[in-house]
């Protein structure tokens, strides 16, 4: 899929990713049975497919390079093993009804996760290579 659109276009969407996630009301969801984490728009487009950044992080992308979400495979058994700063985020995702304070904490983690994924994208696609 990476060949169907330019990495420069993806990079442009990435620079606006925090705004895109907030504007499109992305929701964070953890599937405990599969140990997968999803942070996506409430409804992915039919043309959206996964684009792998590394062994654990993938993006939901359209054929035009629009980022519609983030997918992390083996969230607790792999990702959190080396990204311990996100451990509290998992606790917030697992709890039931959230207070306003917990919603604010979750929002902070969501923004930090976006920043982390943006950093991973830059490792795979350094600006000189775009």
Domain membership of residue 11 (yes or no) is yes
Boundaries of domain holding 104: 2-124
Domain count, the chain: 1
In-domain check, residue 52: yes
pTM of the model: 0.77
Q: Is residue 129 in some structural domain?
A: no
Instruction: Please tell me the predicted confidence (pLDDT) of residue 94.
Output: 74
Looking at residue 128, its pLDDT comes to: 46
Residue 118 located in a structural domain:
yes
The pLDDT assigned to 129 comes to 45
Average pLDDT, the chain: 80
123: left (phi over 0), alpha (psi -120 to 50) or beta: alpha
37: in domain: yes
- Integer Cα distance of 15 and 40 in angstroms: 17
Integer Rg of the chain from CA: 14
């Amino acid at each position: 899929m990476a060949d169907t659109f330019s990495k420069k276009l993806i990079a442009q969407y990435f620079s606006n990713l925090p705004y895109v996630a907030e504007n499109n009301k992305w929701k964070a969801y953890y599937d405990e049975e599969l140990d997968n984490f999803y942070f996506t728009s409430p409804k992915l487009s039919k043309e959206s497919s996964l684009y792998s950044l590394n062994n654990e992080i993938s993006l939901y992308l359209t054929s035009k390079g629009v980022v519609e979400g983030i997918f992390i495979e083996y969230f607790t058994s792999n990702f959190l093993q080396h990204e311990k700063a996100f451990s509290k985020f998992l606790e917030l995702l697992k709890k039931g009804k959230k207070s306003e304070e917990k919603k604010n904490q979750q929002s902070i983690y969501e923004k930090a996760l976006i920043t982390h994924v943006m950093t991973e994208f830059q490792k795979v696609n350094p600006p000189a290579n775009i």
